[in-house]
Amino acid sequence: MLPAIILRQLIKNMSSPDFNPAVYRARREKLLRTIFKKHGASVVLMPTAPEMMRNRDTAFLFRAESYFYYLSAFTEPEAALALCIDHRENVRHILFCREKHEEREIWEGFRYGPHAAGQAFSFDETYPIGALADQLPELLTNRQALYTPLGLFPDWDHCVTQALKQVRAKLRDGDMPPAAMIDVRDTLDTMRMTKDAHEIALMRHAAKISASAHTQAIQKTKPGLFEYQIEAELLHRFLYEGAQATAYPSIVASGENACVLHYTENRRQMKDGDLLLIDAGCEYQYYASDITRTFPVGKRFSAAQKDVYEIVLAAQQACFNALKPGMPLSNYHEAAERVLAQGMIDLKLLTGSLDGALESGAFRRFYMHRAGHWLGMDVHDAGAYCEQDTLASIPLAPGMVLTVEPGLYIRAADDVPTALRNIGVRIEDNVLITENGIDTLTRDAPKSIAEIETLRQAS
């Protein structure tokens, strides 16, 4: 149990210089002002995640729910927040959390308790979590709108529904329930899509840690090792450098496993002549990184592996060239498809013209995903990819962070040249959209063939 306790305390530890409660209060204020413009007097109710049992009396390592953390920075379980704004634009920031409990702290570690939490996290009012059910009806009464994450957690939905029933029972007294119930995540998604300076700094550090881990993995890989041994190198570097956890299950895929997009078994013994595809990133203070590198298990790429790798690298560069503020997000997906489809034709994997391959979708046999996704607190972060009313691609704007990860996955088949069979290559970086173009946050992870082969020959 000791490692889990240590990790849990790391996640709780908000004493680092990265933490500033004013950042989170400003987000709450922005959310309330946005809601007020649409509905007037309103209330936001947001729970954290429930604790989940792993087996018998052992729980999974707790992680606060991302939307809740985005607004509060509070990392303890059994918590909820209420944000209120009245018709005069007066606001209340309220946190419900666990009470101090000396005996439980002996077993489980420090708890803030309501009083200390209010001071540490800039809340106007704080109450024990046990008071939530009694206070919800008052918080909901005579509000024009209730914003809450609908359908996120069944127990939370039940709690809110019961409180609404109590408000409706008092209609004869002139009390009114909210006229509208709206999923708060839609509004928060728009906020989360553009990162502030605080978030960018955390993501930059997460990227630095992950780049270091990938460099170490390239250096430590040897024929005869098992994939899980390289996974262990990654995890060691993540935690050693101060990350709290992996941002997602690490993919360490050698040989034919590299052609499985979300392969996480990581049990195969690696052989000389294989490529190793590693898709892994750490989470640092609730912000994710997401890097993929592909390199030879031996000292050098084979000629066929090098051909495939250079096509994917060229596709990634085409994506970088298409990422500019004001341009549609779809541009970089289309750029990747054009380069990769032409590469498939050059490798004799496809026949016919480039336009024909793109129009028919024949290229999707070897490239079946998009060129990337939003990145932030979640590895597949919050935010739409198309405008809701027109379905047009979202225009890029400074502060957005996304992955750029084209790939080629050539499964063995009778119509595939022998030298190309079971070659899987993906190259992924994390990119910040800036006023002038892009900033590649993960540039420290070796990527060129020359860099990789130099590291492999020195290993």
Hey, which residues are catalytic here?
57, 262, 279, 290, 369, 373, 380, 405, 409, 426, 428
Three-state DSSP at 269 gives strand
- Adjacency order of strands within the sheet including 145-148: 125-128, 91-97, 80-85, 42-47, 145-148, 180-183
Helix (H) or strand (E) holding 423: strand 423-426
Return the H-helix or E-strand segment holding 184: helix 184-193
Q: Could you tell me if 266 and 231 are in contact, meaning their C-beta atoms sit under 8 angstroms apart?
A: yes
**What's the 3-state SS for 113-162?**
HHHHHHHHHCCCEEEEHHHHHHHHHHHHCCCCEEEECCCCCHHHHHHHHH
- Which residue reads 């979300």 in tokens? 262
Residue 95 and residue 72 in contact, taking contact as beta carbons nearer than 8 Å: yes
Choose among 88, 75, 82: nearest CA to 134. Answer: 82
Q: Edge-to-edge strands of the sheet including 401-404?
A: 401-404, 429-433, 438-440
How far is CA 94 from each of CA 13, 81, 273, 422, rounded to the nearest angstrom?
A: 21, 6, 59, 56
- How far is the C-alpha of 431 from the C-alpha of 449, rounded, in Å? 21
Report helix, strand or coil for 42: strand
Contact present, 236 and 281 (Cβ < 8 Å)? no
Question: What's the token pair of residue 64?
Answer: 């606060």
Q: Which long-range contacts (CB under 8 A, 24 or more apart) does 132-137 make?
A: 132/80, 132/96, 132/159, 133/159, 133/162, 133/163, 135/82, 135/96, 136/45, 136/160, 136/163, 136/166, 137/163, 137/166, 137/167, 137/170
